[in-house]
C-alpha cells in the first residue's frame, strides 16, 4: 500500500451533516473522491441535490435526506438511513452547528442552551445512533485487508480554544464539542476513532458579508498569520485524513486548520461595559 492509498475510503459509507453548502458540502464531495458513498443532510433540498450531483460525478452514490438537524431525532435517524441504503456505516462527520455572536448581557440562558444543543447534543445524538451500526459493519478480524476501524470527526472552531469578545455562547459550545469528542474517543476506542478540527475563518455563507466589505476582509486576512481566509476544501482535506486509514493511529485529537490563528481575527466592535449596565467602565 502506497502512502496515498492510505487516504482512500473505497466502498466506505459516510454521513455528513450540514452538507448543503460550505464545509459540509466540500467534505461530502472529498469523501466521495476518496471512494466513499455519502449520506448528506441539511434543511434545503435543492442545495443537497447539487451536492449529490457532484458526488455522483465521482462515481459514488449519494443519499439525500432533507431535515431540520436542530432536532435530535432527525439527526439520529441519518445513521439508520445510511445503513439501510448502503448496508454499512463507517464515517460520521458532525458538521452541523453554529451560533451568531452576541454581547454578554444579550446572551441569556436560553441562548446558551440553544448553542449547546445545536452544536453538541446533535453530535451526540447522531454518533450514539451510529455506533451500533458501525460495530455491525466491522469486517473479518483475521483479514488484514479489511479496514475495521471506524471514524467520527467533529467540526469545532478556533473560538472553542481561544477567547474573543462576543463569542461566549459559540465558543463555549464549540469547546464543549471538542471535549465531548475527546471523552467519546476514550469510550469508543479501539474500534471507533473520534477526532475533530478546530476551524479558522473559512469563506462560507457565514462570511459572505465579509466578501462585500473590503475593510473587514482585509482585517481578517491581516489578522491571520497565513494572510488569507480559508477555503472549505482546506477543512475537507483534514476530514479525509482523519476519516481514512491515513489517520488510523489518531484518536481524541483536534487538528488546528486555521491559518495560524491564536485568537479572533475580526473585531466585532462590542464596547466595554459602562455604568449604565451596572458595571464599572474602563
- Provide the H-helix boundaries in 21-116: 22-33, 45-57, 72-86, 109-116
User: In this structure, how many other beta carbons lie within 10 angstroms of the beta carbon of residue 194?
Assistant: 28
Cα first-last separation, the chain: 62
Question: What are the cell numbers at 209?
Answer: 458579508
Task: Give the DSSP per-residue string, 189-256.
Answer: TTTEEEEEEEE--B-SGGGHHHHT-HHHHHHHHHTSTTSS-B-HHHHHHHHHHHHSGGGTT--S-EEE
Q: How far apart are CA 273 and CA 270, in angstroms?
A: 9
Residue located via cell numbers 483536534: 254
| DSSP letter, residue 49 | H
Q: Which residues are catalytic?
A: 170
Radius of gyration of the chain (CA): 19
User: Would the CA dihedral through 131, 135, 137, 141 be positive or negative?
Assistant: positive
Amino acid at each position: 500500500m502506497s502512502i496515498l492509498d492510505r487516504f482512500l475510503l473505497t466502498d466506505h459509507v459516510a454521513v455528513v451533516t450540514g452538507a448543503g453548502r460550505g464545509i459540509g458540502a466540500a467534505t461530502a464531495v472529498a469523501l466521495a473522491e476518496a471512494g466513499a458513498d455519502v449520506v448528506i443532510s441539511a434543511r434545503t433540498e435543492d442545495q443537497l441535490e447539487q451536492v449529490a450531483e457532484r458526488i455522483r460525478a465521482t462515481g459514488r452514490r449519494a443519499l439525500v435526506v432533507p431535515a431540520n438537524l436542530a432536532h435530535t431525532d432527525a439527526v439520529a435517524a441519518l445513521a439508520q438511513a445510511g445503513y439501510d441504503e448502503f448496508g454499512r456505516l463507517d464515517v460520521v462527520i458532525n458538521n452541523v452547528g453554529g451560533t451568531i455572536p452576541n454581547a454578554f448581557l444579550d446572551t441569556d440562558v436560553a441562548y446558551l442552551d440553544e448553542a449547546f444543543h445545536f452544536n453538541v447534543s446533535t453530535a451526540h445524538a447522531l454518533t450514539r445512533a451510529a455506533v451500533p451500526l458501525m460495530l455491525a459493519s466491522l469486517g473479518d478480524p483475521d483479514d488484514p485487508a479489511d479496514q475495521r476501524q471506524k471514524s467520527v470527526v467533529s467540526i469545532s472552531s478556533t473560538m472553542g480554544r481561544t477567547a474573543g469578545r462576543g463569542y461566549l455562547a459559540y465558543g463555549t459550545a464549540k469547546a464543549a464539542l471538542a471535549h465531548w469528542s475527546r471523552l467519546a474517543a476514550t469510550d469508543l476506542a479501539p474500534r471507533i476513532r473520534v477526532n475533530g478540527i478546530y476551524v479558522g475563518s473559512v469563506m462560507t455563507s457565514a462570511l459572505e458579508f465579509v466578501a462585500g466589505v473590503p475593510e473587514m476582509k482585509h482585517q481578517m486576512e491581516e489578522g491571520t498569520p497565513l494572510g488569507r481566509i480559508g477555503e472549505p476544501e482546506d477543512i475537507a482535506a483534514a476530514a479525509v485524513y482523519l476519516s481514512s486509514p491515513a489517520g488510523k493511529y489518531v484518536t481524541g485529537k483536534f487538528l488546528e486548520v486555521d491559518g495560524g490563528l491564536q485568537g479572533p481575527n475580526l473585531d466585532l466592535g462590542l464596547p466595554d461595559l459602562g455604568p449604565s449596565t451596572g458595571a464599572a467602565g474602563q
